[in-house]
Amino acid sequence: MWKSMAAAVALLAGAAAATSKPAAPPSADDGLEAVATIQDIMENVVDPSADALWASVSSTTTASGTENRQPRTEEEWKAVRRYAISLAEAPNLLLTPGRRVAEAGGKLEDAHVKGILGPEDIAREIAADRPAFVERARALRVAAKKALAAIDARNVAGLFEAGTALDDACESCHVKYWYPNDTRPPPPANPNLAPLK
């Protein structure tokens, strides 16, 4: 009896699947709305969070000696965790459909430098090969998750390493979309990794 009921249920389910329409494409109203531009997200979410994360584990040498910084108190670990969370979620923001690169007529940082693409070129490049953009956004997420794991393990060396991975993630996206024609060796996004002058 149970067996036949199960069979009947399976049959019904099969019939339903056969007659139901193919999955609808994601509707325009998926609840997401890209409010800010990529430039806004860089300036207000990604850049300040990355700078703060990098600054939290850094070694600065000046004439008066070397200052090694690392999170020590619970408060400091909490603060750096906040930045890692922002960085881990930022790729989702970058990938929200309809996200514009910049406001119409807006100027990008370093727009005066030779080899810098304008917002329209960047938008075209992103649209031309969406998976390449997704891949670079994912690399940012991977680096940020590495930082999160190190933070949760209170692992200072791991956090420093994640900072380097983070820098690579910024760079690999910028070199493709922001300054692909720039022939100068790119400066590290992380000022703490800049070669000593």
Residues at the contact surface with ligand HEC, assessed by CB under 6 A: 38-39, 42-43, 46-47, 50, 94, 101-102, 108-109, 122, 133, 136-137, 140, 166, 169-170, 173-174, 177-178, 189
Integer Cα distance of 155 and 150 in angstroms = 5
Query: CA 113: distance to chain centroid?
Result: 24
Amino acid of residue 190: N
Residue closer to ligand HEC by CB (options 47, 161) is 47
Closest separation in Å from C-beta 130 to ligand HEC = 11
Closest separation in Å from C-beta 127 to ligand HEC = 12
Residue closer to ligand HEC by CB (options 80, 94) is 94
In Å, the largest CA–CA distance within the chain is 86
Residue closer to ligand HEC by CB (options 151, 170) is 170
Reading the block at residue 92, the tokens are: 């989702």
Closest separation in Å from C-beta 137 to ligand HEC = 4
Other beta carbons within 10 Å of 17: 8
Residue closer to ligand HEC by CB (options 14, 181) is 181
Closest separation in Å from C-beta 126 to ligand HEC = 7
Closest separation in Å from C-beta 16 to ligand HEC = 41
Other beta carbons within 10 Å of 89: 14
Other beta carbons within 10 Å of 46: 22
The answer to whether residues 150 and 158 touch, using CB atoms and an 8 Å cutoff, is yes
Residue closer to ligand HEC by CB (options 71, 122) is 122
